[in-house]
Structure 1
Amino acid sequence: MISSVTPAAGSPGGGTPVTLTGSNFTQITVVRFGQMFAPSFTVVSATQITAVAPPGSGTVHITVTGSGGTSNGVAYSYVSVPAPVLTGISPASGPASGGTTVTLTGSGVAGATAVRFGSTPASSFTVVSATQITAVAPPGSGTVQVTVTTPGGTSNGVAYSYVSAPVPVLASVSPGQGPVGGGNAVTLTGSGLTGVTAVTFGATSALSFTVVSATQITALAPPGAAGPVQITATGPGGTSSGVTYFYVGVPTLTGASPTTGPVSGGTTVTLTGTSLLGTTAVRFGPTSASSFTVVSATQITAVAPPGSGTVQITVVTPGGTSNGIPYTYVATPVLTRLSPTEGPVDAGTTVTLFGSGLTTTNSVLFGTTPASFTVVSDIWVTALAPAGPAGPVNVTVTTPGGTSNNVVYTRVAAPGI
């Protein structure tokens, strides 16, 4: 029994390969198209036969005959279909090992039943439209003619060359990382790169690339997800092994400590955040840090350069520039006088210090002895003089801006009888 035939039409000149599906095909000895015998046929299985149509006209019934008798008939039409015409092939060359996907363009290819590279069938093919077919080249050598067969016949041939080209080799990429947004230029080095036709980052094609020489390619990275991908290059000889490229997220700063320091710079600031590996610069406003150390992906230490006012600290990585964290430069405090200027050797005398830049005072020293103190305003601090030996002692205040000049306080011994 025959259930279907594919294709159900072919050229009046015959030669169209058809596939019959049905049942009980094992002992088939004859295949007829109407009264005409098929010039050749193959019993593929108990449910499938392939046969070549003989010349004919109109609509005939295909039957098969075996030891059990003759099957039902299925209709097959001889139609005057123009032979397909091929006008182009791209690419027109590939490696001897095959596997290259080529695009064939022309006309009348909609009903293609075969694509051949010379006498060898394509590994696979897909009819895209009446004017285009994609096919995977089988292994081969030299230059062959690619043809397409349809019910209308076999097309003219277009030349395809098998190239004994080396497989491209990639050895390195520089830089080895870039932003997730892509768009940065990288340089690939290796060998056998002359005929490269594609560069991919993971599964994504480079935005563009230029073959500089047999050992170098420049490419623009496409956007990608944070993390590593393999860059590969494909040429007539095949596809290279990969070199690792990292997509880096935009860095983020979440904190800085301390957030103030002297205008002269020199303060070591600890920055915390995310995606800080690969940092190439730390800036305090427009000025680069005197030095910096990347401790981890979440921490950097940097030495503040000289500056003034409040500036934004930012870090720069291959992933971009971070948000800013404010940092304030504090002027060195100045003392102009104190009152009273003397007191007993015992502790407890309240001394008022006058000057400027005193708001952020964090220490008051009488000599080397700390005093308890209260910041009243930017020009006024009160302190309790600590006990000490009789005589003069230098009083200083310290802020994030540094240590002030000194003013003299004199301890006076109590009179004795």
Structure 2
Amino acid sequence: MSPAAGSPGGGTPVTLTGSNFTQATAVRFGPNFALSYTVVSATQITAVAPAGSGTVQITVTTPGGTSNGVAFGYAAAPALTGISPATGPATGGTTVTLTGTNLLGATVVRFGAVNATSFTVVSATQITAVAPPGSGTVQVTATTPGGTSNGVSYSYVAVAVPVLTAVSPGQGPVGGGNTVTLTGSGFTGVTAVRFGSTPASSFTVVSATQITAVAPPGSGTVQVTATTPGGTSNGVSYSYVAVAVPVLTAVSPGQGPVGGGNVVTLTGSGLTGVTAVNFGSTPALSFTVVSATQITAVAPPGAAGPVQITVTGPGGTSNGVTYFYVGVPTLTGATPAQGPTSGGTTVTLTGTNLLGATAVRFGAVNATSFTVVSATQITAVAPSGSGTVQITAVTPGGTSNGVPYTYVPTPVLTGLSPAQGPLDAGTTVTLFGSGLTTTSSVLFGSTPASFTIVSDTWATAIAPSGPAGPVNVQVRTPGGSSNSVVYTRVGPPGI
């Protein structure tokens, strides 16, 4: 039989083929009689299917009996829910995607009263169809054994033919692969970009006036064209030339901060016409082709670690040169954290990412000298200064946070009381002066004494034992050693 399916509402004409159909008295679709039937010959009957559902067996009854059954399916009516795109040129040719339900077995797709140029049933929920020429807004329908669907609107519009005005660069390597920029008008909806008769390797419609395309391999001079639903543009000339692949030999500096923004100089050959500079897969923030052997580029942000810098020109993409993204240095401590105003104290700085340090500063003043011990340690000699300043370290990764360092003034002694005492230890001596707060030791000659800091101008010390006579008393602080004041040991009186 043909067709093998029909609408649940009935009315589908079905042709049955077989034998011994003469004098047929009934045609049934399952238990239901055909709405009508005609015996065409002993081998053919045409019948109109009644309403039904599911799959039923069609049988023919004659005076000789009832035939075997052949399966007939009642197909659900198709329904359309969407069309994309919903517009296209009056000349037709646009491929549209119809979505809906019960689309299997579609026999016709119509744009208004006109059949689609062609169509493909993708699944029960999708059909692709090529729009025929037309005008205005029409209803697109799909017909299946289950019937004809509802319509979805499709509008024919006047689409301008695209126009190309320029291609940049206008030449590239015979191996293709370089990106060119097409400028012009009417680029919306571009479906193809061709270099001569060869499609571009890929293309992107940036706007109605700009397209970027990757040139395919080729030779000689070809015409680049763009095609939209409005037609195919004029051509602009593009030449395939034997262009050397650029070569990089060095980058300076070879490292920089993870935040990017630093300027590096690339040297090599064949750099004329370079169209891209990449740090790994990330484009440089900007670049300038200085000459055929030099490019300056601004590094983009990146993750700590090495990346390969490459450049792309008409001849292709260069080899890579290694560039290191360096983490921003941090300081966690300074030991000692204070020293004399005259400077000269060796300070050990601890932190992270300290390799490659180019400067250590005490406030705004550079350290007298410094040594990078490791990624976590620097030793630096403090310059002269005053007050409390922030020590910072500068590396290719940037400038660190600051850690405090205090300049301590040299202590001064103005007097002591009492100025003499016995030979034995134990006399409490009060020292007067300034800069005594950070006193680290009190010396009677070369002998240390125990002491107590009372204030910046006052300290007490227990005089140690010693021989009779005068002895110089000094205090020492991170700011240095004070002047001396004299304390005299007096022996017991003789008899």
Common fold: TM-score over 0.5 = yes
**How far does the alpha carbon of each residue in 1:105-160 deviate from its partner, in whole angstroms, 9 at most, with x for none?**
44555565543222323223455666554432111122211233456654332111
Aligned to 1:65: none
Partner-residue secondary structure (3-state), 2:176: coil
Match of 1:245 among 317, 324, 340: 324
Match of 2:391 among 313, 319, 340: 313
Query: Is the alpha carbon distance of 1:127 and 1:226 closer, same or farther for their aligned partners in structure 2, counting shifts above 3 Å?
Result: closer
Aligned to 2:305: 228
Query: Which residue identity lines up with residue 379 of structure 1 in the other structure?
Result: T
Match of 2:425 among 340, 344, 347: 347
Q: Is the 8 A contact 1:116 1:147 kept in 2?
A: yes
Check if 1:282 corresponds to 2:360. yes
Q: Is the 8 A contact 2:267 2:295 kept in 1?
A: yes
User: What is the distance in 1 between the residues matched to 2:386 and 2:489?
Assistant: 38
Residues 155-166 of structure 1: matches in 2 within 5 Å? 155-166=233-244
Check if 1:374 corresponds to 2:452. yes
User: What is the distance in 1 between the residues matched to 2:196 and 2:245?
Assistant: 24
Q: Is the 8 A contact 2:250 2:321 kept in 1?
A: no
Q: Is the 8 A contact 1:201 1:229 kept in 2?
A: no
Check if 1:256 corresponds to 2:334. yes
User: What is the distance in 2 between the residues matched to 1:93 and 1:153?
Assistant: 25
Aligned to 1:145: 223
C-alpha displacement at 1:211, in angstroms?
Answer: 1.2
C-alpha displacement at 1:304, in angstroms?
Answer: 1.1
Aligned to 1:299: 377
User: What is the distance in 1 between the residues matched to 2:385 and 2:189?
Assistant: 77
Aligned to 2:270: 192
C-alpha displacement at 1:387, in angstroms?
Answer: 2.2
Aligned to 2:12: none
> So what's the TM-score if we normalise by structure 2?
0.64
**How far does the alpha carbon of each residue in 1:197-221 deviate from its partner, in whole angstroms, 9 at most, with x for none?**
1222333332322211121111222
**How far does the alpha carbon of each residue in 1:371-400 deviate from its partner, in whole angstroms, 9 at most, with x for none?**
111122323222112223344332221111
Check if 1:183 corresponds to 2:261. yes
Gaps of 5+ in 1: 1-5, 25-37, 39-50, 59-77
C-alpha displacement at 1:404, in angstroms?
Answer: 1.7
C-alpha displacement at 1:98, in angstroms?
Answer: 0.9
> So what's the TM-score if we normalise by structure 1?
0.75
**How far does the alpha carbon of each residue in 1:243-274 deviate from its partner, in whole angstroms, 9 at most, with x for none?**
3132442x433332222211211111222334
C-alpha displacement at 1:362, in angstroms?
Answer: 1.0
Check if 1:406 corresponds to 2:494. no
Aligned to 1:85: 163
**How far does the alpha carbon of each residue in 1:261-313 deviate from its partner, in whole angstroms, 9 at most, with x for none?**
11211111222334433322222222211111223333322111112233332
Q: Is the 8 A contact 1:225 1:247 kept in 2?
A: no
Give the RMSD, CA atoms, in angstroms. 4.6
Query: Is the alpha carbon distance of 1:107 and 1:410 closer, same or farther for their aligned partners in structure 2, counting shifts above 3 Å?
Result: closer
C-alpha displacement at 1:172, in angstroms?
Answer: 2.1
Residues 84-163 of structure 1: matches in 2 within 5 Å? 84-107=162-185, 112=190, 114-126=192-204, 132-149=210-227, 154-163=232-241
Q: Is the 8 A contact 1:57 1:79 kept in 2?
A: no
Bigger drift between 150-159 and 265-274 goes to 150-159
Query: Which residue identity lines up with residue 300 of structure 1 in the other structure?
Result: I
User: What is the distance in 2 between the residues matched to 1:285 and 1:10?
Assistant: 72
- Report sequence identity in percent: 75
C-alpha displacement at 1:190, in angstroms?
Answer: 1.7
User: What is the distance in 2 between the residues matched to 1:195 and 1:143?
Assistant: 18
Partner-residue secondary structure (3-state), 2:175: coil
Higher relative contact order (CA closer than 8 Å, sequence separation 6+):
1
Check if 1:389 corresponds to 2:467. yes
